[in-house]
Chains A and B, each alone.
Chain A
Amino acid sequence: MLRKKKLFFSVIALLILSLLFLTACGDTDDNGNDEDQAANGDADQDNDEPSEDARTEVVWGAVQDPDTLDPRLSTSAYSEEVSELIFNSLIYPDENLEMVFDLATDMETPDDNTYIFTLREDVYWHDGEKFTSEDVVFTFESILDEDFGSPHLSRTNFDAVEAIDEYTVQFTTEEPNAAAWTSMRRFIVPAHLAPRDGYEPDEGNFAFNPVGTGPFKLTEWTPNDQIVLERNEDYFEGPVQLERIIRREIPEEETRYTELLNGNIDIAATPEREMDTVEANDDLTLMISGTLNYFPIAINHGIDDSPLNDVRVRQALNYGIDKEAIVSHLWPTAEVMHNPIVPGTWAYDDDATYKYAFDQDKAMDLLDDAGYGDGLEVTITMSNAATNVELGEMLKSYYDQIGVTLEVNTMEFSSALDLILDGDFELYHMGSVGMYDPHDFMSRFINGDGVTSYDNPEFNQLVEDAVKIIDDQDARAELYSEAQQIMTEDAYNVPMYNSQAWMAWNSDFNFNYDYVIRSRAFKDAYWSN
């Protein structure tokens, strides 16, 4: 009797406690009153000029801290999105991937190997010093210097830089290189302040006290907390409208989203699964942008006697999975991709691309032909991001159905990257980001130099020829078409998807989000009230 009573009370106690939490999880009424409010791509169409007492400060909820603000030493997107506000470059790509002048006013190419930039003469560093060609040469010389250790070095497509006079700089390439411009878009640092030795601790200070020429100055950086940027009153294009940007690091996306809804921050990337709710919310403007990111399941071509060296096996791996199903489930905003060139960019050729449909019978036939009819074991290496773990499960079950046993090896990002760069993998899944020129991604698959060791003589030749064509984009595109056909038919890897990026902000804030322009858009941003 007593025991029964105790049980009864325990149950009651537990019920009361769980009620406490259920009220938290319970659904309140959706404010999605289906007004079918399209993603406001036209944020600046309804722009009444800013009123007198409009806000001039914006609080930006960011995912992660920059690793360093010495732009020569970082390839992190989180560093770049801050550097874009502090620094300028000679040129940068606009949303159509066309080159726009920034610190330069003109570029001449007297021959196929020479690029001569004329610099602006009205630019000053945040400390009042004048910007000259010396700064440009200093920046690129340190990047080109092996001992400096810049990650941009292997992505540099020119060989020398020199100053012709105070406001003229010349870049030269040994071979004609149509992709040279992509490496001339690096941010310029001041020769009189930035260290010449990347890891000299005494001089390391520049990395967190950066001085640039950009529209904003860094006034405070508390690591993993916030970065405060104040308007540069002497900006060469005239002071911008925003007086201050506070960039707060909020790593947890639910927390960030909550803060955005509560108005504690004004702009942030929202969780992917909340996209519809954000779109339906009148107080927020959401903008989605295509990216230049490519996420494949890469295949290692450099292992001796590996079954992966057989094109039939690689094709089977492509036929064996339902890419549409996987991508739409795991990355709802992303698009399935069939080769590394992003669809919509000039070099992409849909007709030349061989697209592997989901066809497991064909996959099994191919494996049979290759002599792996009774099974095959393959390992995939990737980071342990939640979506990757799920991806592993899905791939495993698809491949099981065609007799391929997939071992999924997930680990923390840095460890995975270590293995991948060492070539110690069979398959891997990781992204390549920010590829502005087709050569950026095609060159990763030539001569066995890339991480995947892919080496196909015919393909190598095409890519190497294409990059030498300086003035004729159509001729270049033709070679890339052929290259796309070869690489896809050869099943060089298992292409997966091209991701999308997005940002949501307070509807009173006039902003334009584009993946390529990114935080440069803060230059023209302002509050309506």
Chain B
Amino acid sequence: MHIYIIKRLLQAIPVILLVTVITFSLIHLMPGDPAIMRAGEDATLEQVEQIREAMGLNEPIPAQYLNWMSGLVRGDLGESLQDGRPVFTTLMQRLPATLYLVLASFVVSLAIGIPVGILSAVRQNTFIDTFARGFALLGISMPSFWFGLMLVLLFSYRLQWLPASGAGSFQQLIMPALALGMASAGLITRMTRSSMLEVLKQDYIRTARSKGLRAQIVIYKHALKNAMLPVVTVIGLQLGYRLGGSVIVEQIFAYPGIGRFAYTRLLARDFPMIMGNLFIFAMIFIIVNILTDIVYGFLEPRIRYD
């Protein structure tokens, strides 16, 4: 098992390298740079050139990449071109808020998705099932920015129950978590339902039933555990989407997380900050994937790590 984890971590190195090369090139290929943003809309070209020179943007891109890489190897992600702040420290200030939000959104989507999915499978083709499937479809199809604004409209504007922005209190977490969690709640509902239906048809379930076990035990002990495998895969993959989705949700609720920060720095073309951000996102993604694989082992002892 340890060997497996080490192996996976080593395999991650070329992946990270590739990610950095691709993102670095993409960032420098897109039009616009921090010098232009600083110079403002009626600057002269010379002015922009001077600022570029001062920022060190006139060096060839491969040289800039190597420069960045050599910093990375020493554990230094560089400094922002916008305000001179160290990238790593700034990102670490903001990451916890986003992780907290993502975690809360998982609680939302699991708390909704799994029970509704089970209910929907057990009561297949009933009103409950139809309702659950409609709900799942709606959850998946609703864009989070729209759903977020609707939440603001209902709970902040009309009812005045919840604050519409900021972070720090539990009340401030509810709406962003709902907005972010809804899409995967729908997805998890559907995954749980179809996976449960699959499992419920298996012979061992029929055996369990015929032994005279109570329905609850059959469903929760025998069926659910086996039905969870595909759901875990989805949850792992969803984390990546969550980090992406957090950009929009954090924007709507003025939530001070890393997603909104990444977005504003992308618009400002703060290259070192964007690179640092993408690097950390990539790392999280890789780690979560490894963790997902490890969780498989607990759910399905037949899976071997060698």
Shortest CB–CB separation between residue B274 and chain A, in angstroms?
A: 12
Q: Is B82's CB under 8 angstroms from A68's CB?
A: yes
Interface residues of A in 390-437 (CB under 8 A from B): 411-415, 417-423, 430-433
Q: Is B40's CB under 8 angstroms from A204's CB?
A: no
Of A25, A249, A432, the contact of B150 (CB 8 Å cutoff):
A25
Of A146, A254, A258, A450, the contact of B50 (CB 8 Å cutoff):
A146
Of A17, A68, A224, A251, the contact of B138 (CB 8 Å cutoff):
A17
Q: CB of B54 within 8 A of chain A?
A: yes
Q: CB of A130 within 8 A of chain B?
A: no
Instruction: Count A-B contacts at CB 8 Å.
Output: 198
Q: CB of B156 within 8 A of chain A?
A: yes
The residues of B that contact A258 with a CB separation of less than 8 Å are 152-153, 156-157, 164
Segment among A7-15, A93-101, A234-242, A513-521 that sits at the interface with chain B = A7-15
Interface-central residue, A203, A249, A431, by most chain B CB under 10 Å: A249
Q: CB of B114 within 8 A of chain A?
A: no
Interface of B is mostly: helix
Q: Is A13's CB under 8 angstroms from B261's CB?
A: no
The residues of A that contact B82 with a CB separation of less than 8 Å are 67-68
Q: CB of A388 within 8 A of chain B?
A: no
Closest to B125 in A: A6
Q: CB of A64 within 8 A of chain B?
A: yes
Segment among B18-26, B31-39, B105-113, B206-214 that sits at the interface with chain A = B31-39
The residues of A that contact B79 with a CB separation of less than 8 Å are 201, 204
Q: Is B164's CB under 8 angstroms from A259's CB?
A: yes
In the bound complex, what is the Cα–Cα distance between A431 and B40 (angstroms)?
Answer: 10
Q: Is A414's CB under 8 angstroms from B36's CB?
A: yes
The residues of A that contact B252 with a CB separation of less than 8 Å are 252, 255
Q: CB of A65 within 8 A of chain B?
A: yes
Q: Is A259's CB under 8 angstroms from B150's CB?
A: no
Q: CB of B268 within 8 A of chain A?
A: yes
The residues of A that contact B264 with a CB separation of less than 8 Å are 64-65, 224
The residues of B that contact A417 with a CB separation of less than 8 Å are 32, 36-37, 41
Q: CB of A205 within 8 A of chain B?
A: yes
Of A148, A255, A423, A430, the contact of B165 (CB 8 Å cutoff):
A255
In the bound complex, what is the Cα–Cα distance between A261 and B50 (angstroms)?
Answer: 46
Q: CB of A176 within 8 A of chain B?
A: no
The residues of A that contact B153 with a CB separation of less than 8 Å are 24-25, 254, 258
The residues of B that contact A175 with a CB separation of less than 8 Å are none
Shortest CB–CB separation between residue B269 and chain A, in angstroms?
A: 5
Segment among A149-157, A310-318, A359-367 that sits at the interface with chain B = A149-157
Known: A207-B84, A223-B90. A422 touches B134 (CB 8 A): no
In the bound complex, what is the Cα–Cα distance between A189 and B156 (angstroms)?
Answer: 42
Q: CB of B9 within 8 A of chain A?
A: no
Interface residues of B in 115-151 (CB under 8 A from A): 125, 127, 130-131, 134-135, 138, 149-150
Q: CB of B96 within 8 A of chain A?
A: no
Known: A151-B47, A225-B256, A262-B160. A421 touches B134 (CB 8 A): no
Q: CB of A250 within 8 A of chain B?
A: yes
Known: A9-B127, A204-B84. A412 touches B267 (CB 8 A): yes
Closest to A149 in B: B54
Q: CB of A73 within 8 A of chain B?
A: yes
In the bound complex, what is the Cα–Cα distance between A204 and B138 (angstroms)?
Answer: 48
In the bound complex, what is the Cα–Cα distance between A203 and B54 (angstroms)?
Answer: 15
Of B33, B54, B154, B254, the contact of A199 (CB 8 Å cutoff):
B54
Interface-central residue, A16, A411, A417, by most chain B CB under 10 Å: A417
Q: Is B37's CB under 8 angstroms from A449's CB?
A: no
Of A147, A207, A256, the contact of B83 (CB 8 Å cutoff):
A207
Q: Is B261's CB under 8 angstroms from A250's CB?
A: no
Q: Is B36's CB under 8 angstroms from A149's CB?
A: no
Known: A65-B264, A259-B165. A251 touches B41 (CB 8 A): no
| Interface residue tally for chain A (C-beta within 8 Å) | 75
Q: Is A154's CB under 8 angstroms from B44's CB?
A: yes
Q: CB of A451 within 8 A of chain B?
A: yes
Q: CB of B282 within 8 A of chain A?
A: no
The residues of B that contact A421 with a CB separation of less than 8 Å are 36, 39, 43, 45, 48
Q: Is A418's CB under 8 angstroms from B154's CB?
A: no
In the bound complex, what is the Cα–Cα distance between A432 and B42 (angstroms)?
Answer: 7
Closest to A147 in B: B54
Q: CB of B30 within 8 A of chain A?
A: yes
Interface residues of A in 66-96 (CB under 8 A from B): 67-69, 73-76
The residues of B that contact A24 with a CB separation of less than 8 Å are 150, 153-154, 158
Shortest CB–CB separation between residue B249 and chain A, in angstroms?
A: 10
Q: CB of B53 within 8 A of chain A?
A: yes
Interface-central residue, A9, A64, A255, A262, by most chain B CB under 10 Å: A255
In the bound complex, what is the Cα–Cα distance between A264 and B149 (angstroms)?
Answer: 17
Of B150, B158, B165, the contact of A250 (CB 8 Å cutoff):
B165
Shortest CB–CB separation between residue B268 and chain A, in angstroms?
A: 6
Shortest CB–CB separation between residue A233 and chain B, in angstroms?
A: 27
The residues of A that contact B131 with a CB separation of less than 8 Å are 9, 13, 16
The residues of A that contact B242 with a CB separation of less than 8 Å are none
Q: CB of A248 within 8 A of chain B?
A: yes
The residues of B that contact A203 with a CB separation of less than 8 Å are 84
Q: Is A224's CB under 8 angstroms from B256's CB?
A: yes
Interface residues of A in 284-339 (CB under 8 A from B): none
Of B45, B47, B154, B269, the contact of A23 (CB 8 Å cutoff):
B154
Q: CB of B163 within 8 A of chain A?
A: yes
Q: Is A431's CB under 8 angstroms from B134's CB?
A: no
The residues of A that contact B149 with a CB separation of less than 8 Å are 252, 254
The residues of A that contact B236 with a CB separation of less than 8 Å are none
- A146-171: CB near B (< 8 Å → 1, else 0) gives 11110101100000000000000000
Closest to A76 in B: B40
Could you list 15 further interchain pairs (A-B, Cβ under 8 angstroms) beyond the known A225-B256, A258-B164? Answer: A24-B153, A67-B82, A147-B50, A199-B81, A224-B261, A254-B152, A254-B153, A414-B268, A415-B31, A415-B32, A417-B36, A418-B33, A419-B31, A421-B48, A431-B41
- The 7 nearest A-B residue pairs measured at CB: A204-B84, A414-B32, A149-B54, A225-B256, A24-B154, A415-B31, A250-B254
Residues on A lying within 8 angstroms of B by beta carbon are: 6, 9-10, 12-14, 16-17, 21, 23-25, 28, 64-65, 67-69, 73-76, 146-149, 151, 153-154, 198-199, 201, 203-205, 207-208, 222-226, 248-252, 254-256, 258-259, 261-262, 264, 411-415, 417-423, 430-433, 444, 449-451
17 contacts between A and B (CB under 8 A): A17-B135, A149-B50, A151-B38, A151-B43, A154-B46, A201-B79, A203-B84, A251-B254, A259-B165, A414-B32, A414-B37, A414-B267, A415-B31, A421-B36, A430-B41, A432-B42, A449-B44
Residues on B lying within 8 angstroms of A by beta carbon are: 30-33, 35-48, 50-51, 53-56, 78-86, 90, 93-94, 125, 127, 130-131, 134-135, 138, 149-150, 152-154, 156-158, 160, 163-167, 251-254, 256, 260-261, 264, 267-269
